[in-house]
Amino acid sequence: MRQLILVFGLVFICGCGPSDNASTQKPNVTKAVVDSSPKPSAFRFDEQNLVIYLNTQIAPPQSQRFDIGQGSITLETLHVKDNKLTFQYTPEIEGGYTIYECTVPVSSAPLEFKVTSDGIPGATSFSLENCKKIRSGNLHLE
């Protein structure tokens, strides 16, 4: 009986639960097997020539925003169907923006989005007239 009281006393004094200093404990983590090869980006910005390229051959979904002088250009690839890529193109200048949804053939030649020397979205290598205008607005007024 005396030994049992001694054991209970030690457990009570020393404790048997986790320590109060949780920062020193390592969590029990199971590592999942993940493909370590990074997915190539569909987007590239040539800073010297001020051109953003979209590689239509790289599988969606991907998105990237490019902050440029007086605004930004956001590109988001959505899906490929019948060898045609659908993506959204959003040029924004000082808060004013328009979202276009465009469908173009998948091609070895990348799409081009030019930026003017003033830092404004410029010409594209495809016609915006063939794109669907989703929404326009002003970020400062929304």
Q: What is the pLDDT of residues 108-140, one digit of tens each?
A: 999 999 999 888 999 999 999 999 999 999 988
16 contacts: CB under 8 Å, gap ≥ 6: none
Amino acid at 16: C
pTM above 0.85, yes or no: no
pLDDT digits (tens, 9 = 90+) for 19-56: 454 444 433 333 344 445 578 999 999 999 999 999 99
Domain ranges of the chain: 43-138
Which of 47, 104, 51, 115 lies closest to 78, judged by CA? 104
Q: Which residue has the tokens 């200048």?
A: 93
CA distance 91 to 73: 5
Cα 65 from Cα 121, distance rounded (Å): 12
The CA angle 134-135-138, to the nearest 5 degrees, is 160
